[in-house]
Amino acid sequence: MAGLVVELIVSWLLLWFVEKQHLSALGFFPTKSRIENIIAGLLVSSLVCAIYHLSTTISAGNTWNLNRQYNAQLFLEASWWAMKSVLFEEFIFRGALLYIAIQKLGVNKACLLSAASFGVYHWFSYNVFGNPLPMLIIFVITGIAGLTFAYAFAHTRSMYLPIALHFGWNLVQDVVLSNGPLGDQMFISENNDRIQGVWYSVATLFQLLALPALTFWYLKKKSTRFSA
């Protein structure tokens, strides 16, 4: 929690000294549109994540079993951990630095820079630095996700949508389906069997493209609605 407080302070200092702006520039004040963004982001990302992970296991004959020792307290603790990790990353990659980059470089260049930085960051958080193939895979997967989150910030002028998209995915992946650093959580895979070959490639493409496509469709729809 202390780390998030430090991030907020550093974000405010950067915004003030570089752009003469306050934290309000990051779109913290809740509005009807931003609440819609939270709901949409959570629903879309959690659904896409669930479809991807379930499709790569169930179709291979694997099954998911409810963790009988799991309870509400464990779920809340794991969810809070996931939220803190999401906020930590979002304040770095979609916070003050992205806002300033957009002012200096324009939306497209700033979002690409944010996405590339997000991809490189995950080389170290996933401990794959020095292994070329895993580095490439992680860079592509997390870079595309980072680009999606960055454009979500740029087009809504708020951190709510990127946070919701990011948290929805991590909540399902790490907490619901136990596919992350937290170990066994709500549902546990019976084994590690996954589909292979063509269908695995299809599932991977779905993972890469479904969330960006649905996010950009949502942003375009909202933009059309507000301009009408």
pLDDT tens per residue, range 144-179: 999 999 999 999 999 999 999 999 999 999 999 998
Tokens of 13: 């200092």
| pTM attached to this predicted model | 0.93
Residue 227: pLDDT band (50, 70, 90) is very low
| Amino acid 24: pLDDT | 92
DSSP per-residue string spanning 98-162: HHHHHHHH-HHHHHHHHHHHHHHHHHHHTT-TT-HHHHHHHHHHHHHHHHHHHHHHHHHTSSHHH
Over residues 42-58, the pLDDT tens digits come to: 999 999 999 998 888 87
Over residues 15-50, the pLDDT tens digits come to: 999 999 999 999 999 999 999 999 999 999 999 999
- Of 41, 52, 49, nearest to 194 by C-alpha is 52
| Amino acid 107: pLDDT | 95
In one-letter notation, the amino acid at residue 62 is: N
